[in-house]
Amino acid sequence: MKDIIQQLEKAQVGKVLQDEPLANHTTMKVGGPADIFVEPHGIDELKRTMDIVRQHNVPWRAIGRGSNLLVLDEGLRGVVIKLGKGMDHIQEDGELITVGGGYSLITLATLQSRKGLTGLEFAGGIPGSVGGAVYMNAGAHGSDMSNILVKAHVLFEDGTMEWLTNEEMEFSYRTSVLQKKRPGIVLEAVLKLQSGERETIVAEMQKNKDYRRETQPWNFPCAGSIFRNPLPNYAGQLIEKAGLKGFQIGGAKVSEMHGNFIVNAGDAKAQDVLDLIAHIQKTIQEKFDVKMETEVEIIGHKS
């Protein structure tokens, strides 16, 4: 690993750290260390980083703001690339917005609503990055990224960069082609919004923000929705019906505010969260004969 670190530092790709705790980079505040942690200063630096990663044939993983991630206690082997400062550019051309993968989704939604552009109201309370939102087709309130994305600029494992159209992203519920078929990093996205009545748009987004604040425990470290909704059922309702609100294992606790949220109630380990997820799945299966699948992405090294 020392060779890779030296090469990354020599290439001046950006911030390079060794054994960086990923609990510092996830909204749930759990997760072991990354062997090597890189925060590139821009797209060119990110490409140089990936060239070095590929040259050494080490595993890698890109993260954004860490809002939909559960990182295991053992951490991640290889290189973790964070899209943050340097990947948060924005260019506006009327209703077309080109935005970097590291840009805050909440900030973007707020900014565009104030300009009288509609389409991002659903994202007003989603604490992720644009790149992460495109990657997992983030959504809420009956809309998602697939409704506004024109194309995404993606860096693939082999070092090639390509613009993928909305159709080529193969969006479905909380999923895109990048998750399994064509692993890659969303460098930037072009979004198409619509002009509308500024006061109406701002009010709608504020309503969505207020709803999240009133119904979801964002005052605690958490990772957002833990389970996908097993339609026509809703995960949170099933968990509440099963009497699991407030149930706790170690430092991980089912939120008393919303059943589909697990919060870090104090010094939680990733294993506490995993054990709680398994307990919920077993209970819901036994009580309602419904299989619960995780929406939160679980990553890391298993010892």
Residue 186 contacts residue 152 (beta carbons within 8 Å) = yes
Q: What is the pLDDT of residues 146-172, one digit of tens each?
A: 999 999 999 998 889 999 999 999 999
Q: What is the mean pLDDT of residues 4-15?
A: 95
Q: What is the pLDDT of residues 179-205, one digit of tens each?
A: 878 999 999 999 999 999 999 999 998
At residue 296, the pLDDT reads 92
Q: What is the mean pLDDT of residues 83-97?
A: 94
At residue 39, the pLDDT reads 96
Most confident range (mean pLDDT) of 81-90, 172-181, 278-287, 293-302 is: 278-287
173 three-state secondary structure = coil
What is the rounded average pLDDT for all residues in the chain? 94
Residue 201 contacts residue 121 (beta carbons within 8 Å) = yes
For CATH 3.30.43.10, list the domain ranges present in the chain.
2-82
At residue 303, the pLDDT reads 62
Q: What is the pLDDT of residues 208-219, one digit of tens each?
A: 888 888 888 878
For CATH 3.90.78.10, list the domain ranges present in the chain.
219-299
At residue 159, the pLDDT reads 87
DSSP structure string for 236-297: HHHHHHTT-TT-EETTEEE-SS-TT-EEE-SS--HHHHHHHHHHHHHHHHHHH-----B-SE
For CATH 3.30.465.10, list the domain ranges present in the chain.
90-214
Q: What is the mean pLDDT of residues 285-290?
A: 98
Instruction: For strands 149-156 and 184-192, give the pairing.
Output: antiparallel
- Which of 152-166, 211-225, 250-264, 276-290 has the least mean pLDDT? 211-225
* Range 15-51 burial, b when 16+ CB lie within 10 A, else e: ebbeebbbbebbbbbbbbbbbbbbbbebbebbbbbbe
Share of the chain above pLDDT 70, in %: 100
Crossing angle of the two packed helices 43-56 and 2-10, in degrees rounded to 10: 150
At residue 157, the pLDDT reads 85
Which option is the CATH number for 219-299: 3.40.50.2000, 3.90.78.10, 2.60.320.10, 3.90.650.10?
3.90.78.10
| Residues assigned a catalytic role | 174, 225, 295
Q: What is the mean pLDDT of residues 128-154?
A: 94
Residue 113 contacts residue 202 (beta carbons within 8 Å) = yes
Please give the torsion angle defined by the CA atoms of residues 38, 41, 46 and 47, in that order, rounded to the nearest 10 degrees: -140
First to last CA, the chain: 19
Please give the torsion angle defined by the CA atoms of residues 215, 216, 217 and 223, in that order, rounded to the nearest 10 degrees: 170
Which option is the CATH number for 90-214: 3.30.465.10, 3.40.1670.10, 3.30.1280.10, 3.40.630.30?
3.30.465.10
Is the per-residue pLDDT at 82 higher than 70?
Answer: yes
Most confident range (mean pLDDT) of 137-146, 155-164, 233-242, 294-303 is: 233-242
Q: Which phi and psi (to 5°) does residue 236 adopt? A: -60, -40
Q: Which phi and psi (to 5°) does residue 198 adopt? A: -55, -50
Please determine, looking at this structure, whether the domain spanning 2-82 carries the CATH number 3.30.70.3420. no
Q: What is the pLDDT of residues 21-47, one digit of tens each?
A: 999 999 999 999 999 999 999 999 999
Residue 116 contacts residue 128 (beta carbons within 8 Å) = no
Q: Which segments of the chain does DSSP mark as H helices, in order?
A: 2-10, 43-56, 105-114, 130-136, 198-215, 235-241, 270-288
CB atoms within 10 A of CB 97: 25
Give me the residue label for tokens 């307990």: 279
Residue 173 confidence class, pLDDT cut points 50, 70, 90: confident
